[in-house]
Amino acid sequence: MTYKNNNIPAFFNGSYMTIDQVSISPFDRGFLLGDSIYEVIPVYAGRMLAGDKHYRRLMDGLQSIGIESPYTQADWPGIAAPVLLDNEAAQLLYIQVTRGDEQTRKHRFPVEVPPTVLIFSIPFSPPVDENHLGCAAHVQDDLRWQRCNVKSTSLMGNVLAYRQLYVDGVANDEALLVRDGRVVEAPSSNLFMAKGGVIFTPPIDNILPGITRVLVIDIARDLGMDVREEAPNIVMLKDADEVWVTNSMEELKPVISIDGQTVGQGVPGEIWFQLFKAFQALKA
Ligand SMILES: Cc1ncc(COP(=O)(O)O)c(C=O)c1O
């Protein structure tokens, strides 16, 4: 089957259809207020990578903002399965659950409507391979809210970080976000650095608990590497031997300069390479 943007399969509020048949109310709180949770699960050759961890995060996110999940954790894989695309080497399964369509616009509670559930999947090609040259990054103030551990669709702070890169003429570079003097995260990925053979990554107190982050930490520890969950300050980060960021789409993306200052040798490093290769093995 050849997929175009309008004929990919979707699940919407209990029914399967094509994406162009999905009709979302203008009064949906996800649309009006960004009052919703989302999840993105990478699927390689039809097999989800760490699906259980992604569904756990989805359930935790819903619970933490008080949306009652219409499904149990065990239900989700079966509900999502029919929307997976045939014969795609890699695809990203997208799930969004909003607090629902109230047929009016208001902020206040109680909200007594069922959540809206939308699921679809889109093909992707992992953009980073072992010959990746690395990307430039730029430090920015973190403008986001105080519940960054929640995978909310209210992503204005994240979007503005990317807009700043665009305005600065470096739209394809990476932003590294600083809060209280510590570099905590990128707008859609987690941060890692290595110095003297030790790997540092910020703790998950107020960042998104990335699933790729956990997989990479586990790989590194299995390889006998020392991983410390500490957020570097800007000086420490710029003095790193290696820096990379992780997420479900870009996997492990090396950073070779920060604010114009070369990181390490100015090329993707050996630790990144080892972890990148081991990560590829998880997808098989
Ligand atoms: C702010 C932020 N941090 C980290 C991540 C990485 O999460 P994961 O590895 O689960 O894709 C994401 C993914 O979208 C993100 O938006």
From CA 70, how far away is CA 72, in angstroms rounded?
A: 7
Range of the domain at 239: 135-282
To the nearest 10 degrees (0 to 180), the angle between helices 211-222 and 270-282 is: 110
Q: Tell me, using a 6 A CB cutoff, whether residue 247 lines ligand 1.
A: yes
Do residues 214 and 118 share a domain?
no
Question: Ligand 1 in contact with 213 (CB < 6 A)?
Answer: yes
Q: How do residues 73-108 score in pLDDT, each as one tens digit?
A: 999 999 999 999 999 999 999 999 999 999 999 999
240 lines ligand 1 (CB under 6 A): no
Tokens describing residue 108: 């206040």
State yes or no: pLDDT of 1 exceeds 70: no
In this structure, which residue's CA is closest to atom 5 in ligand 1?
Answer: 189
> Which residue of 189, 207, 212, 283 sits with most ligand 1 atoms within 8 Å of its CB, as the best mutation to test the pocket?
189
Answer yes or no: is the C-beta of 189 below 6 A from any ligand 1 atom. yes
Catalytic residue positions, numbered: 151
166-181 pLDDT tens trace: 999 999 999 999 999 9
Cα-to-centroid distance, 208 and ligand 1 (Å): 6
Ligand 1 midpoint to CA 104 (Å): 32
67 & 164 share domain = no
Q: For residue 174, is it within any domain?
A: yes
Model confidence pTM above 0.85: yes
Atom of ligand 1 minimally distant from the CA of 248: 11
pLDDT of residue 252: 98
- pLDDT band at 284, cuts 50/70/90? confident
**Number of structural domains, the chain?**
2
Verify that 249 and 275 share a domain, yes or no.
yes
3-state SS of 204-227?
Answer: CCCCCCCHHHHHHHHHHHHCCCEE
Using the 3D structure, point to which of 123, 157, 174 is the last residue of a domain: 123
Identify whether 213 is part of a domain: yes
Q: Are residues 150 and 233 in the same domain?
A: yes
The answer to whether position 218 is within a domain reads: yes
pLDDT of residue 6: 75
Question: Is the CB of residue 201 below 6 angstroms from any atom belonging to ligand 1?
Answer: no
- Asked if the model's pLDDT at residue 3 lies above 70, the reply is no
d(CA 204, CA 230): 10
The verdict on the CB of residue 175 being under 6 Å from ligand 1 is no
Query: Residue 130 domain-assigned?
Result: no
- CATH number of the domain to which 95 belongs: 3.30.470.10
- CATH assignment of the domain containing 273: 3.20.10.10
* Single residue among 71, 89, 123 that ends a domain in this structure: 123
Q: Say whether both 139 and 272 belong to one domain.
A: yes
142 and 275 within one domain: yes
Q: Residue 35's pLDDT is what?
A: 98
**Residue from 150, 151, 33, 37 nearest 101 by CA:** 33
- Residues 3-11, mean pLDDT to the nearest whole number: 84
Q: Give residue 110 CA to ligand 1 midpoint distance, Å.
A: 31
Tell whether 182 and 101 lie within a shared domain: no
The dihedral sign for the CA sequence 249, 250, 252, 255: negative
Residue 162 counted as domain residue: yes
Out of 96, 123, 150, a domain closes at: 123
Ligand 1 centroid to residue 281 C-alpha, Å:
21
- Ligand 1 atom with least separation from CA of 187: 1
**CB 26: neighbour CB atoms within 10 A?**
9
Q: How many percent of the chain have pLDDT more than 90?
A: 97
Structural domain contains residue 4: no
Is it the case that residue 5 has pLDDT exceeding 90? no
Average pLDDT, the chain: 97
Query: pLDDT for 209-223, tens place per residue?
Result: 999 999 999 999 999
Indicate if the pLDDT at residue 66 is higher than 80.
yes
Looking at the structure, tell me whether residues 198 and 239 fall in a common domain. yes
Q: Is 159 helix (H, G, I), strand (E, B) or coil?
A: helix
